[in-house]
Structures are given as structure tokens and as C-alpha cells.
Amino acid sequence: MEAACIKSFPPILDYKTEKYVLTKNRKVGAFHRLLHLGILCYIIGWVFIVKKGYQESDSDPHSSVITKLKGSSVTKDLQEYQQRLWDVGDFVKPSQGENVLFLVTNFIATPRQVLGLCPESPLIVDGRCGEDLDCTPGEHVVNGNGLKTGRCISLNSTHSTCEIYSWCPVENESLIRKIPLNEAENFTLFIKNSVYFSKFRFSGANTLKTLDDTYFKSCRYDPVSSPYCPVFTIKNIITKTKNSFEELSLLGGVVRIDIEWKCNLDQAQVCIPQYSFGLQDKNNNFRTATYYWDKERRETRDLLKLYGIRFEISVTGEARRFSIVPTAVSLGTGCAFLGSAKPPKGQQAEQPTINNDETSTNND
């Protein structure tokens, strides 16, 4: 009869209980409580305090960056004994307002170039020659400035180069300024940045909301006294990359500016951006030319090879706010850890004999 009743219920309907053995052993008990204490410290200290497991986060902010550079410098043309003023329109490439800008710190000027025949620069290896046979007509000069005509022209007693069809005269890199535009180290860079965390519908800006129009003209960034004044001097930015402006100004470089937002929306006024700077590369330059017609109606151009510092601005951020869902998940995980904390079986086996005085058995 009993066997028939057991067979009438499928195993899925069985109800099982656990058997608990109470072992009166101080070592086992102390180890058990240490496990509980470690799990509590992990849940309270790491999960809730450090990682803020009671908050949900948004780490994909929408960002906009506006940059403005201010300053001017004067250079002197040693060949024509004329002074030239460099302002923002000359210093900054491309135009201002983007999250990438190029600050000119040195240059090589090749004015009044016209199309014609002239000798290649002796600094170009493929342009050097010893006789006309070394200059194959119609052949491009590798890494050079034009097409070979078939003639080898002697420049001096030690150098001869192929005649080429090119913009003449060709650029002479030996004319690079040994005293670059050092005044640029005192220029100021204004970085206006705003972020928007769509998950929380929260927006923030790194500028102070003020009605004083002269505030940003006189203030300088300081993380303590003026954290909402994003105005930096070029020299201070380069110094924070552990380099000198004098070194970078000669041949240029690439500087990274990182803006990081850490916003705790459960607290007021805790959303201040942090700035960090680093040097990514050295030796940065490009060429630009201005075309016009001279008095003889020939197409002419002024070529500039510009060396400078390229600033690349990147924005990252994370906003956090209390939410019941991550709080419940963190608490549930912690309770599961506490429930699974048991002493090793090897230590329970230290009591080979179980009597009524040392051990009691409970069946739920």
C-alpha cells in the first residue's frame, strides 16, 4: 500500500529538506564567522561604497566642444627686413570652434613661387646627380618637388641636382627658423564644453554662469579656486605633459586634452570636470599655399610649411543616480553569498564521534 502511494506521486512533487549539524568547535565557528565578516565588508565597502551598487549609471554622454585661442606675435623677414604680424587667423588651423586645432609655432616661407625650371633641393636624395644620365627626363623625383628634365645642374663644388619642372624656387628646409614663435607659449586657450546625459535628462557645462563679460578674460583655470574657468595658457598645458614649449615649438607635436565628467546626481554640485594632458607625438607639420597673379600675369603662390602643436580634445563621462533595481540586485547577491558561506567539509570532519553532548541534529 505504501509503495503504491509512493509510485502515485512523480518525483517533481517531492519536497526535500536539509539536515543541519551543529558542531561545537571553536576553530570551525571562528572561521565561519570570518567568512561572514569578509562577505559583509565586501558588500558594504566594495559594492555599495566604492562601486556605488545602489545607483544606475549613464556612461555615454552627448558632448559639444568650442575652442578659442587668443594671442599675437611679430616675426621679421631677414631677407626683406620687414615685420609680419601673426594673429589668430594665422596661428590657428583649421578655423576655431572645433575639438581639434593646430597652433603654429614655426614655419618655412617660400614666397613668390612660379611654375618653371629650377634645380631640385640638395636635401632630396633622389634629386642628386653626377651627370645628365642620372636625370631621366619625365621621371618624378621620389619625395621631391617635380619632374626631371634630363639636365644635371651644379649648385656648388660639392652638390649637383637634377633640373626639374616645378614651382620655383623649391622649398629650402635649411631656412627653418631657429628662433620659432615663442610668444605663443603665453597664448590662452578657452575650452567650452557641455554634456548631456540622456538617461537622466541632465545637462552640465564647464563654464561659470555669470553676467560679468570680463570674467573669462581675466580668470585662469584652477581646480580649487576657479574650477569653472576653462582658460589655460599654452605653456601650462605643455608643462603638464612633462615637456617644454621650447622643445615642441621647433618641430611641433600632438597634445591630447582629456575632459572627464564624474557626476553623482544624488548630491548637489558634484559634477565638476577633470582635465588631464598628455603628449602623443612629436614632429608635426603641414603645408599651405596662397595663389595669386603677379604683375606679369603669371600664376604665383606663397608656400608656407607650418610646424606646430596639434591639440586633440576628447570628452568622457559617467553620471550616476540612486535606483531601486541595482540596490535590490546588490542586496540579493550579498544575501546569496552569506547563505552559501560554509566552513570546509574537511574541518567539519575533525569530530569523528558525535554524541548527544556535542552535536544535535535538526530536521525541518
The CATH number of domain 59-120+170-321, selected from 2.60.490.10, 3.40.50.2300, 3.40.50.800, 1.20.1090.10: 2.60.490.10
Q: What is the pLDDT of residue 363?
A: 44
Q: What is the pLDDT of residue 77?
A: 55
Instruction: Find out whether 289 and 102 touch, Cβ atoms under 8 Å.
Output: no
Residues of the chain with CATH 1.10.287.940: 17-54+323-353
Q: What is the pLDDT of residue 154?
A: 93
Residues of the chain with CATH 2.60.490.10: 59-120+170-321
The CATH number of domain 17-54+323-353, selected from 3.90.550.10, 1.10.287.940, 1.20.1110.10, 3.40.50.1980: 1.10.287.940
Q: Is the pTM of this model over 0.95?
A: no
Q: What is the pLDDT of residue 352?
A: 45
Place of cell 517531492: 14
Going by their DSSP bridges, the two strands 19-21 and 361-363 should be labelled as antiparallel
Helix, strand and coil percent figures for the chain, each rounded to 5 = 25, 40, 35
User: Hey, how many other C-beta atoms are within 10 angstroms of the C-beta on 51?
Assistant: 12
Q: E strands within 215-353?
A: 231-233, 253-264, 274-282, 285-293, 299-322
Angstrom distance (rounded) from CA 289 to CA 108: 12
Bridge partners (DSSP) of residue 304 are 109, 288
Angstrom distance (rounded) from CA 67 to CA 99: 7
> What is the pLDDT tens value at each position of the chain, 364 positions in all?
555 555 555 677 777 776 767 777 788 778 878 888 888 888 888 877 887 878 888 888 999 888 888 877 766 654 444 566 666 666 666 655 567 888 888 888 899 999 999 999 998 999 999 999 999 999 999 999 999 999 999 998 888 999 999 999 999 887 776 666 777 888 899 999 999 999 989 999 999 888 888 888 889 999 888 999 999 999 999 999 999 888 888 888 999 999 999 998 888 667 889 999 999 998 888 888 899 999 989 999 999 888 889 999 999 999 988 888 888 888 888 788 777 766 555 444 444 444 444 444 444 4
Instruction: Find out whether 240 and 277 touch, Cβ atoms under 8 Å.
Output: yes
Query: Residue 172: helix, strand or coil by DSSP?
Result: coil
